[in-house]
Amino acid sequence: MQAIGNPEYPYNIYLVGVGGQGILTIGEIISQAVNLQGIPVNFYPTKGMAQRGGFVKAQLRIGKDLVGPAIPEKGAHLILAMERSESLKAVRYLKPGGDFLLWDYIWAPTAVMLGQASYPELAVVREQVQNAQGNFLVVSPSLLPNFEGNPAPDNVFLLGIALRRTSLGKVVTFSAVEEALKNRFKRFTSSNLFALKAGYNLEL
Amino acid sequence: MSKEIVTGNEALALGALRAGAKVITGYPGTPSSEVIGFLLSHPELWKEKGAHVEWSTNEKVAFEIAAGAAWAGQRALVTMKMSGLNVAFDSVISIAYSGINGGLVIYVADDPGVSAGMAEQDTRGFALMSDLPMLEACSVKEAYLIVPKAFQLSEETKSPVFLRLTTAVSQSHAPVELESPYYLPLEREILLERDIQKYTKAGALICMAQHRDLIQRLEKSKELIREMKLNELSLSKKKGQLGILASGVSYSYLEEGLLLASQFGLDPEEVSILKVVSVNPFPEEEAGTLLENSELILVLEELEPYMEKNLILLAHKLGLRRRIVGKLDGTLERIGDYSVREVLLGISAALGLKIPPELFYGIQAEKLAAPRPITVCAGCPHRGTFMAINNGIRKAGFKKDQVMVTGDIGCTILGMNPPFNTVWNEVSMGASLGIAQGYVHAGMNSPVIATIGDSTFFHAGIPALINAVQYQVPLTLIIMDNGWTAMTGMQFNPGTSEKFLPQGSKRVDLEKLIPGLGVENFWVVDPYDYRKMSEIILKALKSEGVKVILARRECAIQAMRRGERAGKVKVNPEKCTLCKSCLTITGCPALSIGEKTMEIDQTLCNGCGLCLFTCGYKALEREEP
């Protein structure tokens, strides 16, 4: 297995979003794919107190048999963020030179909608990622394709984009992710496989 | 054998099956809930083979059931979060004194860093207090392997054994080689032993003899732990000055920390390491060897400095002068969870390495993020209750800051947040009722309201209600009954509909129970019916004595999962003026502000219709399902 002995390991992924977006499912899929490749992994999701609508994060550490669950600050090779404002909470974990992939969805908290609190501009996130010396990649949710008349699963679409556009592709193979998706989604297999491919083939 | 990804809690459940546990009980509490949750969703693993798995009414009951089974000679596991151990501890001490026959493992999940709310309570202190052995696993894999060892230790010493995980391990998912078959039932005869010297606490002689036995059992566990080689000492290959003593999740960061520190002048081969699995009793022999072989020792343990104090004591006993780096010298904190940063901070303090602080701290961009206070879900029946409480207080002629509304554990506490700002405080399971009585006796001349969820009421609210009835304390109790133990991830409880209870269970109906406790002013109301709810709250606030309102409607998340909606709500664009009252008053996550009118996310909205009551323009329309 190529992972062992490589000083780049553990390969660390920090995921953030809002409960209900499927960010933890991405983490689960990557873990399963990595396991299928025979590489050790530790996946540590934090759901917090909310059933839905609260901040959610997850930490993936790949390639070491015994590894502490939490990624150190400046330690993540890849950040996957599914909500603009929440993505700021991941910046401190970004490794200089690492990839920061933002699905630029805006899930405004009530106070923001009522004009009682402000919401960050995209430029703010970009600037913070640049200060952290990361590679900033942003994808607009308007690029999400439809599958049989309904929006394709955006979390898996983002995973497809990450496989092609970030260092994730060096760690996890497309076919292992496909396999993991087939195992995970017995009912919505085709829409998820479609989303993965569409994300992978997306021209930016 | 198969290598499957499981969580720390699932690994623990599977470890207990592999060890032949026959009775497994618990009460839900993050981060411990998935042990029982996993087993109940996989009855095929144990049901036919004669095991019993249950959610009990509270942790004390759960512990007593497990202890009874262990007295009867079987292996039993009980699971809880650290707060639950406080509830169970009265019985834990007593059973510790008596000892047990079959194996009894008490799994407690601690939460350094407080990812789930409540105190950063360090359960190791309870092991010290009760003189019981406690083992701690550092990884998901170890969580699986350690359970059979905990049972072995328990049976050979005839003592309950604590098993501790922290959030980072219990919630992590990692591949584990699972032995097959998953469950190895033990065919054991029931043990019926009549011995009041052992099984009762009648008299000083009995109790003191039991206390002596308890201390001897802990002594015996020391030998056994050494024989089982639970703790791992690895002395440095080259002669070095640094020794590290680490346990639990702190140990799992060690390799990474040593590798990073080696870039700043540390030679990892000069470091001796003692990995502590038996956090009680402290492994004195191995720790003594570590002390003899090192000039200074770094202690890595989250929360309280228990091992550090033990090490200082041991060095004193052995007449060794050693510098000990940890919390007591101010290097590391007693607060929060640890990561590789604490390993580096410790090594750098111990050896005076110049590790630049920039290595530990990234850019703190989170201060630029929008605040996101959590509120109740779209369609939550509690939304109606909180709106009605606020309305009732106003209609009764009081201001919100004149009426004490005590809160309790679970989703119901979300009434503390905007837009409701209804609930004032949160203490522990069932405490809303006791605290409320305290306010009344303190001399309040405005109404006092206590709020509590159904599962919390079953767990510890009933004795406090009995107290209020006995002394006829003027207060209003609102039980928000959504039929589930929701916040910990939707477990069933005694009041859950029989449709969703395990076969053969009987539902305990609060509607029958509460009048039976002597409550005379009692109303049952659907909190979606905002007008009725407000009217009843007003009536209760104006009545004498103990008033109980059972606000009853199933959790919307659970109903929606089964495809059941209360209706459908739409915005009439002709009438909506975008005054935003609906959003301001309900804070419902399904509502958002569109360009010209309010908008409703139909995937979130379950049609509860509570927003209709807030609209002065009749712009929100509801269709029955």
Structural domain contains residue A6: no
pLDDT at A17: 96
pLDDT at B2: 74
pLDDT band at A1 (very low <50, low <70, confident <90, very high): very low
Structural domain contains residue A2: no
Residue of A nearest to B141 (CA): A66
Q: With CB atoms and an 8 Å threshold, state whether A31 touches B173.
A: yes
- How far apart CA B616 and CA B57 sit, in angstroms, is 44
In chain B, what are the helix, strand and coil shares in percent, each to the nearest 5? 40, 20, 40
Q: With CB atoms and an 8 Å threshold, state whether A69 touches B173.
A: no
pLDDT at A5: 39
Contact residues, chain A, for B364 at CB < 8 Å: 91-92
Please name every residue paired with B54 in a beta bridge, in sequence order, or none if there are none. B25
Contact residues, chain A, for B174 at CB < 8 Å: 40-43
Q: Is the pLDDT of residue B240 over 90?
A: no
Q: Indicate the SS3 state at residue B367.
A: helix
pLDDT band at A3 (very low <50, low <70, confident <90, very high): very low
Q: How far is A199 from chain B (nearest CA, A)?
A: 24
- How far apart CA B269 and CA B236 sit, in angstroms, is 6
DSSP-H helix ranges across B396-509: 431-441, 454-456, 462-470
Q: With CB atoms and an 8 Å threshold, state whether B486 touches A51.
A: yes
Lowest model confidence (mean pLDDT) among A48-52, B257-261, B462-466, B548-552: A48-52
Q: With CB atoms and an 8 Å threshold, state whether A70 touches B5.
A: no
Q: How far is A148 from chain B (nearest CA, A)?
A: 18
Structural domain contains residue A192: yes
Residues 99-128 of chain B whose Cβ lies under 8 A from any Cβ of chain A: 115-117
Distance between the two ends of chain B, CA-based, in angstroms?
50
Q: Indicate the SS3 state at residue B620.
A: strand
Residue of A nearest to B369 (CA): A85
> Can you give B201-260 as a three-state secondary structure string?
CCCHHHHHHHHHHHHHHHHHHHHHHHHCCCCEEECCCCCCCEEEEEEHHHHHCHHHHHHH
Contact residues, chain B, for A118 at CB < 8 Å: 370
- How far apart CA B201 and CA B208 sit, in angstroms, is 9
Contact residues, chain A, for B248 at CB < 8 Å: none
Identify the CA nearest to B385 among candidates B236, B538, B534.
B534
DSSP letters for A73-113: TT-EEEEEESSHHHHGGGGGGEEEEEEEEEE------HHHH
DSSP-H helix ranges across B319-442: 340-351, 381-395, 431-441
Structural domain contains residue A129: yes
Query: Based on the structure, what is the number of domains in chain A?
Result: 1
Q: Are A158 and A26 in contact (CB under 8 A)?
A: yes
Taking only the tens place, the pLDDT of each residue in B409-461 is: 999 999 999 999 999 999 999 999 999 999 999 999 999 999 999 999 999 99
Structural domain contains residue A86: yes
Element (H, E) at B79: strand B76-81
Q: Which residue has the higher pLDDT, A6 or B193?
A: B193
Q: How far is B197 from chain A (nearest CA, A)?
A: 46
Structural domain contains residue A4: no
Say which residue the tokens 């495809």 belong to: B563
Q: How far is A134 from chain B (nearest CA, A)?
A: 11
Domains of chain B by range and CATH? Answer: 2-227 (3.40.50.970), 232-359 (3.40.50.920), 381-555 (3.40.50.970), 568-623 (3.30.70.20)
Q: Is the pLDDT of residue B582 over 50?
A: yes
Mean pLDDT of chain B: 96
- Residue B362 has its nearest CB partner, among A18, A54, A91, at A91
Q: Are A62 and A119 in contact (CB under 8 A)?
A: no
Taking each continuous run of H as one helix and of E as one strand, the counts in chain A are 7, 8
Q: With CB atoms and an 8 Å threshold, state whether A67 touches B252.
A: yes
Q: How far is B347 from chain A (nearest CA, A)?
A: 16
- How far apart CA A117 and CA B372 sit, in angstroms, is 10
> In terms of pTM, does the model score above 0.90?
yes
- How far apart CA B405 and CA B422 sit, in angstroms, is 7
Structural domain contains residue A5: no
Which of B111, B254, B337, B374 best probes binding to A when mutated, by most A CB atoms within 10 angstroms?
B374
Q: What is the mean pLDDT of residues B106-110?
A: 98
Q: Is the pLDDT of residue B358 over 90?
A: no
- Residue A54 has its nearest CB partner, among B249, B374, B593, at B374
Contact residues, chain B, for A71 at CB < 8 Å: 339
Contact residues, chain A, for B590 at CB < 8 Å: none
Residue of B nearest to A67 (CA): B252
Q: Is the pLDDT of residue A7 over 80?
A: no
Q: What is the mean pLDDT of residues B144-168?
A: 98
Structural domain contains residue A94: yes
Q: Are B135 and B150 in contact (CB under 8 A)?
A: yes
Q: With CB atoms and an 8 Å threshold, state whether A70 touches B337.
A: yes
Contact residues, chain B, for A48 at CB < 8 Å: 115-116, 374
Q: With CB atoms and an 8 Å threshold, state whether B172 touches A86.
A: no
Where in the sequence is the domain holding A91, given as residue range(s)? 11-201
Q: How far is B370 from chain A (nearest CA, A)?
A: 5
Contact residues, chain A, for B137 at CB < 8 Å: none
Identify the CA nearest to A106 among candidates A88, A130, A90.
A88
CATH classification at residue A181: 3.40.920.10
Residue of A nearest to B586 (CA): A110
Q: Give the ipTM.
A: 0.95
Contacts A–B by Cβ distance under 8 A:
163
Q: Is B533 on the interface with A (CB under 8 A)?
A: no
